Structures are given as structure tokens and as C-alpha cells.
């Protein structure tokens, strides 16, 4: 229903509408703070970093990384590839 330019949507549907590339819940407060401090707010933001760069953040552990990897795989998002240079 549209009234005065506003679309009225039942609350339940608003709750179900969420950002598909949101960071996974329950990754732990230290991991949340580490990502926030680095300016990372979504899985899309994470795709700009390599897996190693994220693991190097203080507060990111194995559990948080596993949850991040699962969420990224589910959304078909991947970490930045690192190139190994020849010496």
C-alpha cells in the first residue's frame, strides 16, 4: 500500500529484509571490533583483503575466520587473491 509517497510494509517483512552481504553473526566481539577498526562492515568489504590480511588482524581467530569463510562461500564472495612474486 502506498500512502503520500510512503510504502507501508508489514513489520515482519521488514525484519526479513536484510543485507545479503552482512558480516556473520556470532563471530565474537573481538573479531567484530577488529573488523570495525579496519573499516570492514560487510562481506563485500572483506573481498578487498586477502585471507592472510584478515587473519593478521588482532581479534580474528580460527572460529571467526571459519564463520567468515562460510558466509562468503554462501554469498559467492571470495577473498582477494595474493600473488606470489618470484625472486
C-alpha cell at 25: 553473526
Q: Identify whether the C-beta of residue 45 lies closer than 8 Å to the C-beta of residue 80.
A: no
pTM: 0.71
* Fold topology of 19-74: DNA polymerase; domain 1 (1.10.150)
Q: Can you give the pLDDT of all 87 residues of the chain as single tens digits? A: 545 555 555 555 444 444 568 899 899 999 999 999 999 999 999 999 999 999 999 999 999 999 999 999 999 999 998 766 554
Listed by start position, the domains of the chain span 19-74
Three cell numbers written together for 55: 587473519
Rg (Cα) of the chain, in Å, rounded?
Answer: 17
Distances (CA, A) of 15 to 10, 31, 42, 84: 9, 25, 18, 44
**Which residue bears the cell 510512503?**
6
Q: Which helix (H) or strand (E) holds 73?
A: helix 62-74
pLDDT of amino acid 14: 45
Q: What is the pLDDT of residue 21?
A: 80
CB half-sphere exposure, 84, CA atoms < 13 A: 1
Output the pLDDT for position 33: 96
Cβ neighbours of 21 (radius 10 Å): 16
Amino acid at each position: 500500500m502506498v500512502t503520500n509517497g510512503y510504502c507501508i510494509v508489514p513489520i515482519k517483512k521488514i525484519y526479513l529484509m536484510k543485507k545479503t552481504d552482512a558480516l556473520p553473526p556470532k563471530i565474537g566481539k573481538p573479531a567484530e571490533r577488529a573488523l570495525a577498526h579496519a573499516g570492514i562492515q560487510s562481506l563485500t568489504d572483506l573481498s578487498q583483503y586477502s585471507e592472510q590480511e584478515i587473519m593478521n588482524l588482532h581479534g580474528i581467530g580460527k572460529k571467526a575466520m571459519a564463520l567468515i569463510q562460510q558466509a562468503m562461500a554462501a554469498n559467492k564472495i571470495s577473498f582477494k587473491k595474493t600473488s606470489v612474486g618470484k625472486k
